Structure 1
């Protein structure tokens, strides 16, 4: 018996997986997963795919038990026999990203995107865009997004003035700058500029940025897209311990 046939027999019941109260989600995930395991994969890729599938099923079940209700539009259903559902498309994208993701810690948040979109009415185009974004980001950039989300109003007291950046920290500031290029972060107008008051800052006047050397941690704020990304990726699950080094860096630079 070939390895593929053995694998198919082992997961034969997966497409029939019934999530209590929502019988249509399990088959969507199961059929996409079953298609994936028939492909030529390394053992590591097989494990990544299997872990992602199990994680999504478990987290969706947990959310339903907590009282969350899956979206009630046509997200999980194909428009006709010639097209798959939007959920199938995004779940395939999630498995593809997880299969190739070398930063293991990122996979959880890639999976969270599918899980949360299963409960939030996000368009297919927006879901694909967010999936593309998270695929281009490093795990540290996910930490940075969450850090600036936590730091609303600069309650962490990060630097608000231009500072001399030592060479080993340039990569961090470059990653912050890249987040502005992705449309996820923006820089508040510096209160030290002539004629700029704190009221101007509160009214959200923003400066254009042209490089990493213009990053001022205490003045960085999420854009609406950044807010949505934080929510749908479930970045609030990141721990304070994971953020500590970045916080120290932005306070002591």
Structure 2
């Protein structure tokens, strides 16, 4: 079918994304990224890294402007672009040093891993209908740029997994992680249900159980007790494993972004994790 979008419409959409990308144009180049390192050597390395990352963002921004995006896509892509850049800038200001393992190096024919991943993140944002996930895509990209232990293939796989997760699964990971990883439980999480469910009732509980089981099958969550189906989960046996731990750290899930729906979603997750028995005893 022939594309019937007019040139004026295309230009209008391009101007929309330019409004987002323009807000931070050149900001990384001006970030005192090298000043946090002792001696002129550190400053030089920081300046080079800052300029390279800035180039990657400028190139990605120019690519975005050429795409025809719906208004909602325009908003999501622009939001992730700006948020990721802001996070990187904040890390630079605090003295963090971007990776120098070749992640930003590209050849004449091949793009750098940093450029490739940014494009993937922006495309993921374009396709992502759950807008509350955008901040976590931005955090994922920004933090990977400071973690040389995350290889190019691993980074791409983490992005693929993050696209598959629902917003509630991200909240599940963050809520469970506040107890399992940080060891600082929310007051409601002091006593997790100690035995496996034999059956799960209630629409929200059933949905949460299914999402936890899905994460278990994806090897994001593990369990010291085998889980055969979504009705057989023992909350106290759950652990964050493998790529789940990477996502917890890189998406900074110890600090879930506040919004109007988060308290309700988190309360439902907590209700499932402590079990009805614990609620009645409280």
TM-score by length of 2: 0.75
In the superposition, relative to structure 1, how do residues 130 and 31 fare at CA in structure 2: closer, same or farther (>3 Å)?
Answer: same
User: By how many angstroms is 1:160 displaced?
Assistant: 1.3
Q: Deviations over 1:55-107 (max 9, x none)?
A: 111110001111111101211121x1111110111001100111111111111
Query: Could you list the runs of 4 or more consecutive aligned residues of structure 1 that deviate by over 4 angstroms after TM superposition?
Result: 1-6, 8-17
Aligned to 2:200: 165
Q: Confirm or deny: 8 A CA contact 2:158 2:243 kept in the other structure.
A: no
Select the residue among 253, 256, 267 that pairs with 1:244: 267
Structure 2, gaps ≥5 residues long? 1-6, 34-49, 277-282
Q: Confirm or deny: 8 A CA contact 2:56 2:115 kept in the other structure.
A: yes
Select the residue among 182, 187, 194 that pairs with 2:223: 187
Q: Confirm or deny: 8 A CA contact 1:174 1:212 kept in the other structure.
A: yes
Q: Confirm or deny: 8 A CA contact 2:174 2:254 kept in the other structure.
A: yes
Q: Confirm or deny: 8 A CA contact 1:162 1:216 kept in the other structure.
A: yes
Tell me the SS of whatever aligns to 1:212. coil
TM-score by length of 1: 0.83
Structure 1 range deviating more: 128-137 or 233-242: 233-242
Distance (whole Å) between structure 2 residues aligned to residue 4 and residue 44 of structure 1? 15
Structure 1, gaps ≥5 residues long? 190-206
Tell me the SS of whatever aligns to 1:221. strand
Distance (whole Å) between structure 2 residues aligned to residue 27 and residue 109 of structure 1? 23
User: By how many angstroms is 1:48 displaced?
Assistant: 1.5
Aligned positions, number: 234
User: By how many angstroms is 1:158 displaced?
Assistant: 1.1
Residues 18-37 of structure 1 correspond to what in structure 2 (within 5 A)? Answer: 18-20=29-31, 21=33, 22-37=50-65
In the superposition, relative to structure 1, how do residues 15 and 165 fare at CA in structure 2: closer, same or farther (>3 Å)?
Answer: same
Aligned to 1:103: 130
Aligned to 2:42: none
Distance (whole Å) between structure 2 residues aligned to residue 2 and residue 14 of structure 1? 25
